[in-house]
A and B are shown apart, each in its own frame.
Chain A
Amino acid sequence: MNPAPLRVVLVDDHHLFRAGVRTELGDAVDVVGEAEDVAGAVVLVDGAVPDVVLLDVHLPGGGGRAVIEAVKQGHPDVRFLALSVSDAPEDVISVIRAGARGYVTKTISGPELVDAVRRVAAGDAVFSPRLAGFVLDAFATMPGADGPPASFDPELDQLSPREREVLRHIARGYTYKEIARDLSISTKTVESHVSAVLRKLQLSTRHQLTRWATERRLI
């Protein structure tokens, strides 16, 4: 279908896991390289310039976030998808805020992972149920309860009811298509809602989001 298969780099510190993902992805994408720590990943991405980097949240040498920050400047077109077993919400949120376009858990099936890679490569956001849950949690506290109200930007610092509804469906395990049918909107609209949430997640200066990151001394 695609004239040139997507070029993907795997970054994970577990050899077995990388082998597993490679098998799952199969022929659908072209895995152009693997790295097992931050320094190796930065060099690899710099040289190979893939379409998508599958990035572990926890990595020796600074975590997935450090890779994104080192590469982002020189290669703004490289997209990142975080992939991990089970992480603390603050780690996941901070990788997203650094620039990753999605987060999926390692229990994801092969076809679903391929689909997620395609989506990210196309510039869409990919939210697993878990990430949707983290985001709902992060935006749950009422505005004003944290941080000075002066810095509160309603455009960025809170989710619209529709976005919240979409995230809830994702957290319940619905696919975009199922959400579209359930809410009587188009799949494209679901995608734009998710992208809007991702934007808010990356740009909001909400106290809680920044606090999560600073507690880990990553900002």
Chain B
Amino acid sequence: MAGGLSRRLGIDVTVVRIGLVLLALVSGFGAAGYVAAWLFLPVEGETATIAARAAKDRRGLALAIGCVPLLIALGVVVSVLGLGFVTSLIWGLVLAAAGMILVYRNEDETERVRIHRALATLTEIGSPAHRSRRSFAARILLGVVLLAAGLALLAIGHTYRGALGLVLGAVLMAGAFVVLFGPWWLRLARDLVTERNARIRAEERADMAAEVHDSVLQTLALIQRNADQPQKVAQLARAQERELRSWLFDGVAPWSLGGAEPATLAAGVALIEREVEATHGVAVDSVTVGDCPLDDDLRALLAATREATVNAAKWSGAPTVSLYVEVEPTSVSVYVRDRGVGFDPETVDGDRRGITESVCGRMARHGGTAAVHSRPGKGTEVELRVPRHPVRA
């Protein structure tokens, strides 16, 4: 920036730099001038200035104008305190801030990256990598000095310059606390954000794994069992491909194969009934009491229901699967029952993720519960339940 100015004015770069810094220190208009130059001088090799772009940025302009009340407020405070010499500084700094808003919103990518880098060094304070012993000691020392100065000012404040002394003391105290605890707060906030992001990512992954298990892995299992029937294998593979494509590229839930996504719980249950009957050749006897529109939790419930029904159709050996869905005022419950071979839930193979992950895990992630009742030779019943959210008007 200084380089650009010096070329334009024909003065040495160093002189311009020193001049700018001096101006900034004396009146605050130096900073404003620097930002103004940034706004109005075109970057080397470009014709349009940032200002030209900023003029079209209505929100940026509004934000910049928003600095005016700030200016007035600061002006009032300063004049009350009788600190005339600060006024000029404030004018300049506030103008500079307004200018920076416009610059930030309208500059090109390279400049934005530069600002981000400058800000990054600020936020790195307090990160574990920068916790050297020396900076820690310096921080404590500075904090203690500020604290002591603040306390002293507060103690003698009322005799020295009246209110101003008290205010200054309070400011110093606050500064001390920021210096002492700031890095720690920063780290805490950063850890919180990192942890939350990690959790969201893990949940997305688990949901995704469940979807893939329901669709792709199930189909692969079916293909293995029908390996001697080329036609059936081809049909399964085609259906799975269509399903996977529509999920990956159109965001359609895998279980709403082919048709439009159901809008209500009963429609979703009817779809599961049709689909499982068609794919697995087992009769599904579904009974639905009540109905309600679908939300994310209920969609997860339907997906788990479908998984439990498919499991019953595939493994139980029973000719019929009973599916009962009841919508109650505060919850929705689902019972999937078969009179097939049953199994011992204690000894179920960890490899068969169907029940644990796809059903139980999915229900838990959506605030619901899942229970599997089964005994060898006595059939299986899967019980699912999610709480209902009050209808938002």
Residue positions of A touching B, CB distance < 8 A? 105, 107, 129-130, 132-133, 136-137, 140, 168, 171-174
Contacts and interface: CB of A to CB of B under 8 A. Distances in A.
Interface residues of B, number: 14
B289 A129 contact: no
Given A172-B324, A173-B324, A107 B285 contact: yes
B283 interface: yes
Contacts, number: 40
Interface of B: 283, 285, 287-290, 320, 322, 324, 326, 335, 337, 339, 381
A168 B335 CA distance: 10
B289 A137 contact: yes
- Kindly name the residue among A129, A168, A173 whose own CB sees the greatest number of chain B CB atoms within 10 A: A173
Among B283, B287, B322, find the residue whose CB has the most chain A CB atoms closer than 10 A: B287
Contact of B337 (A132, A136, A137, A173): A173
Given A168-B326, A172-B335, A173-B337, A107 B320 contact: yes
Contacts of A174: 337
Nearest to B328: A140
A133 B290 CA distance: 9
27 contacts: A105-B285, A107-B283, A107-B285, A129-B285, A129-B287, A129-B322, A129-B324, A130-B285, A130-B287, A132-B287, A133-B287, A133-B289, A133-B324, A136-B289, A136-B326, A140-B290, A168-B324, A171-B289, A171-B324, A171-B326, A172-B322, A172-B335, A172-B337, A172-B381, A173-B324, A173-B337, A173-B339
B289 A173 contact: no
A96 B322 CA distance: 23
B264 to A, nearest CB: 14
Contacts of B326: 136, 168, 171
B128 to A, nearest CB: 56
Contacts of B337: 172-174
Nearest 7 Cβ contacts at the A-B interface: A173-B322, A133-B287, A172-B324, A172-B335, A136-B289, A171-B287, A171-B324
Nearest to A133: B287
Given A129-B324, A136-B326, A171-B289, 13 more contacts: A105-B285, A107-B283, A129-B322, A130-B285, A137-B289, A137-B290, A140-B289, A168-B326, A172-B324, A172-B335, A172-B381, A173-B285, A173-B322
A168 B290 CA distance: 13
A127 to B, nearest CB: 11
Contacts of B288: 133
Contacts of B335: 172-173
Contacts of B283: 107
Contacts of B324: 129, 133, 168, 171-173
A132 B326 CA distance: 12
A105 B326 CA distance: 20
Contacts of A132: 287
Contacts of B320: 107, 173
A140 B327 CA distance: 10
B220 to A, nearest CB: 30
Contacts of A105: 285
A85 B246 CA distance: 33
A89 B98 CA distance: 68
Contacts of B287: 129-130, 132-133, 171
A107 B284 CA distance: 10
A107 B285 CA distance: 9
B375 to A, nearest CB: 13
A140 B288 CA distance: 12
A137 B322 CA distance: 18
B188 to A, nearest CB: 50
Contacts of B322: 129, 172-173
Nearest to A132: B287
Contacts of A171: 287, 289, 324, 326
A111 to B, nearest CB: 13
Nearest to A173: B322
A172 B288 CA distance: 10
B336 to A, nearest CB: 9
A132 B322 CA distance: 13
A132 B289 CA distance: 9
A53 to B, nearest CB: 24
A137 B289 CA distance: 5
Contacts of B381: 172
B376 to A, nearest CB: 17
Contacts of B339: 173
A180 B337 CA distance: 17
Nearest to A139: B289
B75 to A, nearest CB: 64
Which among B283, B324, B326, B335 has the highest number of chain A CB atoms within 10 Å? B324
Contacts of A140: 289-290
A30 to B, nearest CB: 28
